[in-house]
Structure 1
Amino acid sequence: MTLAARHPVRFARQRTLGRDLHWWLARTGLDTLPVGRFLSAPPTQLVIDDSRYRAAVTSGRPDRRPVFTGASGTKVTWTDGSAEEVDAIVLATGYRPDLDYLAPLGALDPTGHPRHREGLSLTLPGLAYVGLEWQRSLSSNSLRGVGRDAARAARHIATCLSRA
């Protein structure tokens, strides 16, 4: 088994001062604080861990490699050019949206990120995003926060449609 990632995995302790980190994020309001608009680039997300994941990665089970550069049939091509037969590929949290098809519409900045404010497009009325890292808050790209952002996007789109 291989863990392929673009960047080194960063861990956060799941329990702090006797409570789960999610409890602290909700209790302090950090989970919903709309800081996304102040970030020029989203920081790397942490893996919330009770120490088992860090221990597994440190021990090499799974082995850790840079993300593959291509896939065809049942093989992946690694950054060193070698190819390897695989049984399955699971794309999990931490992926980046591939929105190149929006570039001709001016919806992306030069780095390929959506031009948006808190998930609402700055270039195309009626276009909204959901699930982007730090879209509005720390939890925007998680199950804890995507619902709040989706409700806001739906209200925005409904308003745009009512004006049409």
Structure 2
Amino acid sequence: MTQRTDVVVIGGGQAGLAAGYHLRRLGIEHVILDAQTAPGGAWQHTWDSLHLFSPAQYSSLPGRLMPAQPGQTHPDARHVVEYLAEYEKRYELPVQRGVWVDAVHRDGTCLRVASDSGEWQARAVIGATGTWTRPFIPAVPGRREFSGRQLHTVQYKSPAEFAGLRVIVVGGGNSGAQIAADLASVAELTWVTRRPPRYLADDIDGRALFDAATARRQALDAGHGDTGGVASLGDIVAVPPVRSARDAGLLPAKPMFTRLTSTAVEWADGTLAEADAVVWCTGFRPALAHFASLRLRGTRGHIATVGTRTVDDPRIHLLGYGDWTGPASATLIGVGRPARDAAREIASLLSG
């Protein structure tokens, strides 16, 4: 049996909840389909020591400030999960959990969303699945020959399991820096980055990053030169644990190695670093496989958008995947504005 609604939101993390908030305010019937079995999106799967870049008041979804976490300037992931669960309940958002969306198809004037729990017919769809389920590991020579443990950011939980081991952490972004700092005092750490680490000024937090991303988007929309956005400020937010490890001299970085052997990583000059484990903090790709049948991707695999709206099908919006779907839209503070814009565009579409 096919169920019908005006809008299907795919994904019940922070982006999906922000979309639901604005759709609800506009009185638009919708359902939020989430593959997770509990609230909190990807935040419920992060490593134990992860903290936000910003204080709670600058890490909030629309309509509801995140309360401060006692004893913490920067809330931890558990606090974020609790906030998202309370947010969902407060606004009575129609989230259906444990629903995996397989595909979205065109069905006349509507879209048909197929899942492992049945089908929905909708007049518009918002993709809000994020990137956490699509970790990226580069094709480095010898990666399959390495006999030690290899894991991605998504699999890392705690430094305790690496105590006394020789660990290579690969990646010069926030995840790489935070996990390297986490391991620096318990493991024999080698931190590898493609270019020397670029720390943002110590007083910069998530609010400043949001402002920088917004200014870049406004400049581009006005036809002005690219300000560089967040990338112009640096790659790493110096949260307290990273700052402490850096200032203690525990985070020297080596350039990227050229290959792995069965027991080590090797640089171009033949230098080796023996390793028991490699942690790949090398980013993610958008989880958009369910849109494959619509052929929205261009020749380079990118789905073109104007704001959040896909160019090739105005009934489909993408929310929360990064600056290409709204300034800082992959952050708690940044997703509210593009979610509002998407809801307004959909309201206009439905009334047409």
Q: Which band: TM-score by shorter chain? A: 0.5 to 0.7
Whether contact under 8 Å (2:303, 2:310) holds in the other structure is yes
Partner-residue secondary structure (3-state), 1:102: helix
| 1:3-152 equivalent positions in 2, closer than 5 A | 4=152, 8-10=171-173, 11-15=198-202, 19-25=203-209, 29-33=211-215, 34=217, 46-50=235-239, 52=242, 55=246, 94-135=283-324, 137-152=326-341
Deviation of 1:120 (Å): 0.8
Identity of aligned residues (%): 22
Quote the residue 1:158 is aligned against: 347
Distance 1:150 1:142 in 2: 12
- Which has more radius of gyration? 2
Whether contact under 8 Å (1:14, 1:20) holds in the other structure is yes
Please list every run of 5 or more consecutive structure 2 residues that lacks an aligned counterpart in the other structure: 1-46, 48-149, 154-169, 174-197, 224-228, 254-259, 263-280
- Between the two proteins, the alignment pairs up a number of residues equal to 132
Root-mean-square deviation over aligned CA pairs? 4.4
Whether contact under 8 Å (1:130, 1:149) holds in the other structure is yes
Whether contact under 8 Å (1:99, 1:112) holds in the other structure is no
With over 3 angstroms needed to count, the CA separation of the structure-2 counterparts of 1:155 and 1:104, relative to structure 1, is: same
Equivalent position amino acid for 1:104 in 2: S
Deviation of 1:23 (Å): 4.6
- 1:78-98 residue CA offsets vs partner (Å, 9 max, x unmatched): x989xxxxxxxxxx9x43213
Equivalent position amino acid for 1:13 in 2: L
Calculate the TM-score normalised by the size of structure 2.
Answer: 0.29
Whether contact under 8 Å (1:14, 1:50) holds in the other structure is no
Partner-residue secondary structure (3-state), 1:30: helix
Equivalent position amino acid for 2:337 in 1: R
Deviation of 1:146 (Å): 0.8
Equivalent position amino acid for 2:336 in 1: G
Deviation of 1:161 (Å): 1.4
Calculate the TM-score normalised by the size of structure 1.
Answer: 0.56
